[in-house]
Each structure stands twice: as C-alpha cells, then as structure tokens.
Amino acid sequence: MKGLFRRVSETQRSPITITVNGQPVTALEGDTILTALLLAGRQLRVNEFDQKPRAGFCLMGACQDCRVWTESGDELRACSTPATPGLRIVTAEVPWTSQ
C-alpha cells in the first residue's frame, strides 16, 4: 500500500522496526510513530465515534486525533512519541486487564 507521506530527505538514518496491530512496520531512527505509520499506509487509525479513517489533525500534540496505545494499554500521542526499536502499539482502544 502506498503511504500518505513520502520521505524526501534524511533517508540515511538507521532503520528500526516497530509492531503495529501485530504487524511489523519499518521506521527510521528519529521518526515519530505518526511519521512511521503514515509512510507505511494511508491512515493512522479509525475514529471510534464515526468509524472514519484518521491521519492525525494538528501534528503537534495539541489535539487527541493521533492517539494510539501500547499493547499494555498506555496511551501515546503518535505525533510526538518517537518510534523506538521493539515498540508494540495498537491503533484501536481495547479493554485491557488490570495488571
């Protein structure tokens, strides 16, 4: 699938892999989660209220449109959270068990 974003510079940074909804996604060191996901696809997540695709809104951490969750249930803002090697996220809020 062709991504919504296209990388035009800084292509020499080291590649890393994150896991999104159980699938590997390649990012470059220093990318945010949002950058990695929009380079890989056409949307970040589906809105829980109207089921429409979302790709982030403000892109600077002022809204809640780019929220994603770790597999353990921690909420992250994809636009301001760095993609780190081994990061595992989900793009739909699901009920987590208390730990």
pLDDT, tens digit (0-9, with 9 covering 90-100), for 23-75: 999 999 999 999 999 999 878 888 778 888 778 788 787 888 888 999 989 99
Indicate if the pLDDT at residue 99 is higher than 90.
no
Q: pTM score, two decimals?
A: 0.82
Q: Reduced to 3 states, what is the DSSP secondary structure of residue 53?
A: strand
- How far, in Å, are 4, 46, 94 from residue 49 at the CA level? 22, 9, 14
Query: In whole angstroms, what is the distance from residue 75 CA to residue 7 CA?
Result: 26
